[in-house]
Chain A
Amino acid sequence: MRILVVEDEPHLNDVIVKKMQTEHYSVDSCLNGRDALDYIEGAEYDAIILDIMMPKVSGLDVLKALRLGNDKTPVLLLTAKDSVEDRVTGLDAGADDYLVKPFAFDELLARIRTMLRRASGQADNCLTVADLQMNCDARTVFRGKVPITLSSKEFSILEYMMRNQGIVLTRDKIEQHIWNYDYEGGSNVVDVYIRYLRKKIDDEFTPKLIHTVRGTGYVLRVEK
């Protein structure tokens, strides 16, 4: 899951990024609204953490621009403004959640998980396709009753595919959601990861879940 952190206070920005990274999100960050718009245009994010009061372009303007362009990426407003009026303005402008500074990291993380869950239409933090089960909180994966060990990137790729089950994902799209701007994976790295994932979750099990769509990409679904 790839997340954009927009916060103009460098130290806070830094600590949020580090915290998110330890939770295995791939994170990009920027310090003002104008950069945020560039980042959003250049990549697909699964969630955005947005400060309201920022130089150049304010968080609310970023949010409005986003929604005007029909971008439905979940946005959490993170701000020191805590009046009811401010919250209403923020939520009405298209925010999915609103968290007032100072905040507890656990709460921020829980709210991010909730937003991601809502975006993929799940009721809880578990994803299921056939007998493949993923618990996003505990970061465990089971095929039937067999536990499967995955590296952090493998987990992220599988999570992304399970959240978008039935949808064909191109290599580029997978790369965009798994790696941040700091890394250039190269599309053949995605192929290697998918091959490895198949070995781990499909080789010894039926039905096969990961399928190659020739010339396009990959899809996770139960083939009829």
Chain B
Amino acid sequence: MNKLSIKLRVTLWYTSFMVVLVALTLVFLLSVSNNLSRLAVKDRLISDVEKSFEEIEFDDGELEIDDELDFFDNGVYLSVYGSDGQLLYGGMPSEFDAAIAFSSQELQQAESHGQQWYVYDYRISLEGYGDVWVRGIASQSGTGSTIQTMILLALIALPFVVVIAAVGGYLITKQAFRPITKISEAAEKIGVGNDLTKRIHLGNGKDEIYMLANTFDRMFDRLQRSFETEKQFTSDASHELRTPTSVIIAQCEYAINNADTLEEAKESLTVILGQSEKMSRLISQLLMLARTDKGSQKLELELINLSEISEIIVEEQKIIAEEKNISIQTQIEPDIILRADQTMMMRVFINLISNAVKYGKSGGNVLVRLSKDGDFVTGAVQDNGIGIAEEHMAKIWDRFFQADPARSADEEEGMGLGLSMVKWIIEAHRGTIRAESILGEGSTFVFKIPYL
């Protein structure tokens, strides 16, 4: 059974169901109509026989039978006999030749010429004449022709209904399953051929199958996107790791072959240490990003004073900013206390402010704002630095994105992971972040998180 297709199974199921139903209907119809017709025949036979006395009289030494007496009426044959069993009037059906003894007011059954008959007799005593027998004979099946026609019609029509339903149902299921075949073909191609660009493209429709196909298409879109980012990410990550590795190898080779003094060797070791630290940081950040992707990075929420934290970070960042001759101003509303992950929020401010300083111009300004408006805490970091080109705006949140890779190659934290981490943290706090920038004039990053 399981080897058959669903189309066939569905069709088979309800066809057999209908066959059983039709068979039952016919059997029921037959038995009921038989009983009914038999009852009707019996009633008519008895009433015809009993009514016939009114028409028989003995007058002036002669037996008179009224003209109204019908000797053959609707399948009932009537005949009148004398007391000695001699036929006086009427007749018997030609197919009936059984000899049956008279028995008054008793319904008898007889078989003749392969047919079942009812026989009903009645004895009348006529004054001056003696006994007269009236006998009625009727076929058990030969009557009630309308019922028989109905059964005949049902016998012919019902199988036709079954056939039409089966064929129609098969066609509709086949039609309904055609998209499924298309879906499985598309999935097969993606699975075997590794071609993620394939789609089902069933078009617009309202039924469940179309919805399924569209859901599949959207899933394939997502899969393709995530595979592509994954590929990009892996290649970027290996590229970022390759750079420090090659520096380390080169420095080691140089130190082994060319360093004559401990001083020179130490110089190489310092470079190697720096590069190793850079790699270690990168690996840790990659790990954290991988965890955020899996959703296993959890927030440690507690009440924190975001105003104090941002002030502290500004003080910390001022040390670096002063080296670049950049000043940091603040407009921080005091004592904004909210439930958040303290370390994560520190990261947000550290990354945004250090970016502002990194891409700032000498003598420039950075403005850090924090305020509470309504149900949200709004934070902003604004600089008048080099800005971001319009074509890069959409990509700044991507991992490893750097507008000018050469520019930050020698900088410590410049690995293009900072902003994507900031975005993740803000969104994990159910907030939003956006950036505005004009190339050459500066950038502003504004985030909003719900105040609880």
Q: Which residues of A contact B (CB under 8 A)?
A: 151-154, 179, 181-186, 188-189, 191-193, 195-196, 199
Report the nearest A residue to B298, measured CB to CB.
Answer: A182
Counting CB contacts under 8 A, is B242 at the interface? no
Distance, CA A181 to CA B287, complexed state (A): 9
How many contacts A-B (CB < 8 Å)?
50
A-side interface mostly: helix
Known: A184-B288, A189-B343, A192-B316. A151 touches B281 (CB 8 A): no
Report the nearest A residue to B350, measured CB to CB.
Answer: A188
Which of A152, A179, A182, A186 sits near B347, CB closer than 8 Å? Answer: A186
Q: Is the CB of B300 within 8 A of A152?
A: yes
Q: Is the CB of A153 within 8 A of B291?
A: no
Query: Could you pull out 17 A-B pairs where Cβ atoms are within 8 angstroms?
Result: A151-B304, A153-B342, A179-B343, A182-B291, A182-B296, A183-B288, A183-B297, A183-B343, A184-B285, A184-B287, A186-B281, A186-B350, A188-B316, A189-B347, A192-B313, A192-B350, A196-B312
Q: Is the CB of A195 within 8 A of B343?
A: no
Closest CB-CB distance, A147 to chain B, in whole Å? Answer: 16
Point out the residues of chain B lying under 8 angstroms from A196, CB to CB: 308-309, 312
Counting CB contacts under 8 A, is B389 at the interface? no
Q: Is the CB of B296 within 8 A of A153?
A: no
Distance, CA A151 to CA B346, complexed state (A): 13
Q: How large is the interface on B (under 10, 10 to 19, 20 to 34, 35 or more residues)?
A: 20 to 34
Distance, CA A153 to CA B342, complexed state (A): 8
Counting CB contacts under 8 A, is B188 at the interface? no
Closest CB-CB distance, A157 to chain B, in whole Å? Answer: 11
Distance, CA A136 to CA B302, complexed state (A): 19
Report the nearest B residue to A197, measured CB to CB.
Answer: B312
Report the nearest B residue to A26, measured CB to CB.
Answer: B300
Point out the residues of chain A lying under 8 angstroms from B347, CB to CB: 186, 189
Closest CB-CB distance, B233 to chain A, in whole Å? Answer: 17
Q: Is the CB of B312 within 8 A of A192?
A: yes
Known: A188-B316, A195-B312. A151 touches B342 (CB 8 A): yes
Closest CB-CB distance, A39 to chain B, in whole Å? Answer: 14
Q: Is the CB of B302 within 8 A of A192?
A: no
Q: Is the CB of B302 within 8 A of A152?
A: yes
Distance, CA A184 to CA B288, complexed state (A): 6
Point out the residues of chain A lying under 8 angstroms from B313, CB to CB: 192
Instruction: Convert B9-46 into 0s and 1s, putting 1 for each residue whose CB lies closer than 8 angstroms to a CB of A.
Output: 00000000000000000000000000000000000000
Distance, CA A74 to CA B309, complexed state (A): 35
Closest CB-CB distance, B260 to chain A, in whole Å? Answer: 28
Closest CB-CB distance, B250 to chain A, in whole Å? Answer: 26
Distance, CA A196 to CA B345, complexed state (A): 14
Distance, CA A173 to CA B342, complexed state (A): 20
Counting CB contacts under 8 A, is B74 at the interface? no
Point out the residues of chain A lying under 8 angstroms from B296, CB to CB: 182
Closest CB-CB distance, A172 to chain B, in whole Å? Answer: 10
Residue with the highest number of chain B CB atoms closer than 10 Å, among A153, A185, A192, A193: A192
Known: A153-B343, A183-B343, A184-B287. A199 touches B281 (CB 8 A): no
Q: Is the CB of A185 within 8 A of B308?
A: no
Q: Is the CB of B350 within 8 A of A185?
A: no
